[in-house]
Amino acid sequence: MKSLFKLTVIDLKLYLRNYIASFFTLVFPVLMLLLFGVIYGNKPVAVFGGYGSMDFSVPGYIAALVIGTTAFMSLPMDLSVQRQLGVLRRLRATPLGSGRILASKLITNLVVAAAGMGLLVLTGVLAFQIVLPVNWPALLLGILLCSLSMYSLGFALASLVRTANGVRAVSFIVFYPMMFLSGGTFPSQFLPEAVNQVAKALPMTYSVNLLHSLWFGQGWDATAILALLGFMALGVLLSVRFFKWD
């Protein structure tokens, strides 16, 4: 545990020194919230079930902009760069072992994502008096499930694409359509039905649906849970089968 803790601290320092990754995880979601909050305000509207636009946006931003960014951009890019530079191979040759090395990557992204979520919620409360969830334990469990599901796909992406440039290109192709089509940044209520049907094939859609359901006290969305568990199993299987250390 001590070695895992030390390695995680080092990974956190490296993450925070990557100003681009830090900006898009910690600052960009807050800027998005402030921008659209100023434009649309947070008055209750019928289309959002009597909640305000910012009330509805925060759980979606958590799924799409915080968890999604760390899962499909930061995590696979970090793994691919360190693999290409030979860092992963050297670490694996140490007594740390492969399990602790990969666990450190997972924990690092979870910690940074948690910080991003905290800043986002705090901004929502101070700037727009957003509605907060009643059942925080359930919401946190839901966030953990969404994170693990999407992080497993991030590991799979880093496993299937070998080079850092390739991972960067595929990450953009995978992440940005999901960000806009999942309902996380642009409410699905305003998207054409055909687009919403396509969105059902995207893992981020189920993360957004689950967090919305838990945030507004509607309970656990069974369809979203099963879909996220299925995507998690797929990500783990692909990672175990194709992950390379060099």
pLDDT tens-digit map of 218-232: 999 999 999 999 999
Overall number of domains in the chain = 1
Q: What is the pLDDT of residue 94?
A: 79
pLDDT at 3: 82
What pLDDT shows up at residue 95?
75
pLDDT value of residue 189: 85
Cα separation, 218 vs 203, in Å, equals: 20
Domain extent at residue 137: 2-242
Torsion of CA 132, 137, 139, 143, to 10 degrees: 130
Query: How does pLDDT run across 32-69, given as a tens digit for each residue?
Result: 999 999 998 999 988 888 999 999 999 999 999 999 99
CA distance 222 to 225: 5
What's residue 104's pLDDT?
A: 93
Residues of the chain where predicted confidence (pLDDT) is lower than 50: none
